[in-house]
Amino acid sequence: MAALAAAMSDTSRMKILCALMDGRAWTATELSAVAGIAASTASSHLSRLVKANLLICLSQGRHRYFRLSNNNIASLLEGMMGVTFQANNPARSKVPEELLTARTCYDHLAGDIAVKLYDSLVSNGWLENDGSDLTVQGKAKFLKLGIRLEVKTKRKKCCPCLDWSERKYHLGGFLGSSLLEFLETYNWIERVSGYREVTITPKGYQELNHHFQISK
């Protein structure tokens, strides 16, 4: 927590961390561009973030890629962004509308649509009230849609993740990741390359309304 707070105290490092919240691996060149800093400066920041165990560096051939160390770092970052948002941006309208509607939170969906999905799962009796797992009916619903349920992993199967813009929960954990994968695979959503922004397709709105009673 202290290491993450220190990293977020610098604007350039904050931009780097925000970019990596899309769950993908980025090159140092790409991160320097998104942060608006020189490559040498970005390299210094990245080294510090790696030493703090906030990022990991992956080598593939001659290229090096950086990504967040794990889901816990992503969750902490999302939560601390919520505190920053609440303190510095009391007017919700100051946040870009496209990010308010839908965005990625590491490897799952966040934003207004994600919160509505979570609420729908609870109200339909498909998710336990504490968000720890799907109910029997919920598992049947996910299987019917074609959303993966079981994969050997040490991460939490399912958990509520506090959404920094909505101040309510969206679905995290392995099932949150499976849900995002499903939405993208079946063209309910489209991810904007290089950004956290997610666009809901016309088909997506139709299917969300049909299955989860979520309107545009």
pLDDT per position as a tens digit, 189-198: 998 766 678 9
Query: Do the beta carbons of residue 211 and residue 199 sit within 8 Å?
Result: no
81, containing H or E segment: helix 71-88
Q: Is CATH 1.10.10.10 the classification given to domain 1-69?
A: yes
| Residue 91 confidence class, pLDDT cut points 50, 70, 90 | very low
Inform me whether the pLDDT recorded for 80 exceeds 80: no
Name, in order, each residue with C-beta under 8 angstroms of 39's C-beta and a sequence gap of 6 or more: 28, 29, 32
Domain with CATH 1.10.10.10 in the chain: 1-69
Predicted local confidence at residue 86, as pLDDT: 46
Q: Please give the residue that has the higher pLDDT: either 114 or 91.
A: 114
Query: Do the beta carbons of residue 184 and residue 177 sit within 8 Å?
Result: no
Name the token pair of 166: 């909505």
Inform me whether the pLDDT recorded for 90 exceeds 50: no
Name, in order, each residue with C-beta under 8 angstroms of 41's C-beta and a sequence gap of 6 or more: 12, 32
Query: Do the beta carbons of residue 69 and residue 54 sit within 8 Å?
Result: yes
Strand-pairing partners, residue 172, are 159
Name the token pair of 24: 């993908």
137, containing H or E segment: helix 136-145
Burial, 90: exposed, middle or buried (Cβ in 10 Å; 0-12, 13-18, 19+)?
A: exposed
CA quadruple 151, 157, 162, 164: dihedral, nearest 10: -10
Query: Is the pTM here over 0.75, yes or no?
Result: no
CA nearest neighbour of 179 among 166, 169, 170: 170
Residues of the chain with pLDDT > 90: what percent? 44
Query: Do the beta carbons of residue 191 and residue 104 sit within 8 Å?
Result: yes
Q: Please give the residue that has the higher pLDDT: either 107 or 151.
A: 107
| Residue 96 confidence class, pLDDT cut points 50, 70, 90 | low
Q: Where are the beta strands (DSSP E) in the chain?
A: 26-27, 55-60, 63-68, 103-105, 108-110, 159-162, 169-172, 189-191, 198-200
Q: What is the mean pLDDT of residues 184-210?
A: 91
